[in-house]
Chains A and B, each alone.
Chain A
């Protein structure tokens, strides 16, 4: 980040500058600050006791547990995948690298509702595998496994898309040196690769986790909304809100609001680390340079 320009003759007249800033601030206040503040305002509208009651209620706690469980399974799986994809795509040349990267991005291009729908088509009672599986006692849709699968799907690309460019930008020389000096594969990874990718990895984990815990559409399709059983926090918010229990809905929503704030803070902190590292690296064009060569 180069920071704002200081040179006076390269900025707009004061009137124009103030107008642009005023419009930008009103827009940010209206669409970001007021909604975020309102989540907490509404959550505490009936005082602390009502807030606490909505959160310690058994169905809310069950929803919290399921949300944590889904994220605790989806995020580590996507980390393993992301690091593997980063190594294969970032450190090696092979035909179809760009196609593979586009395929990894697919879950971002798909509507959340469609992300859930495909699992119903696969594992629902009349789905491609569902009939057989349900006959053999395996229930995926309208059960916890479906929620976990949908969560894995929607949080799938985050880690890989952070790791691939970093693996590519750091090049292969350091790892090759480690190998030549006699390091084994795992030792090389732990001592050389991991220190290079750790901030990017953490950044991807933060984003994947926020999406995993906050996903609504995809999870809504596969959940069946069974209270205390297949309800995640966002689904619980919906149920409470549709029951005209707005204060409780916002109380539970405020937990997700806190998750968002923590995510934003960690993201801002990590971005500085990742950028500082990228600035040190001499490779300036991670994506295009190698494919053009």
Chain B
């Protein structure tokens, strides 16, 4: 009694609970062993197909920039974190000394600063009002017929369409 095709298929697929019995039969039956070899060769042939390359880059449709910026190296992230922690500690230590020094420094009030800015702004406006602007030459009025205007608009539209068509040609592909 020979092995069935189902048994041979399941054996090669590692999907049978009767491996030991099948192997025992195969060791004593040349015909079944030959059938198994042929099936194994078919598997190898099916799986031998080479990978083909794409003729277009699908990723281009999704990616806005050509390459993805690599993440920061771990050492740099750790150094930056350490620096931030040290800076925070330095601020905490320095805070009492700075608080002692603050009353000694005379700071102008908000009103003083506002009045100063306002007076400077008024002075700037005065300077600007004294500037004489040169008189512009009169622009001759060109009378265009409706035909010329229509043709110009049509021409510009055509240029716009052709230009955009050329720019988007690769995207449409």
Co-assembled chains A and B: no
A residues in contact (CB < 8 Å) with B: none
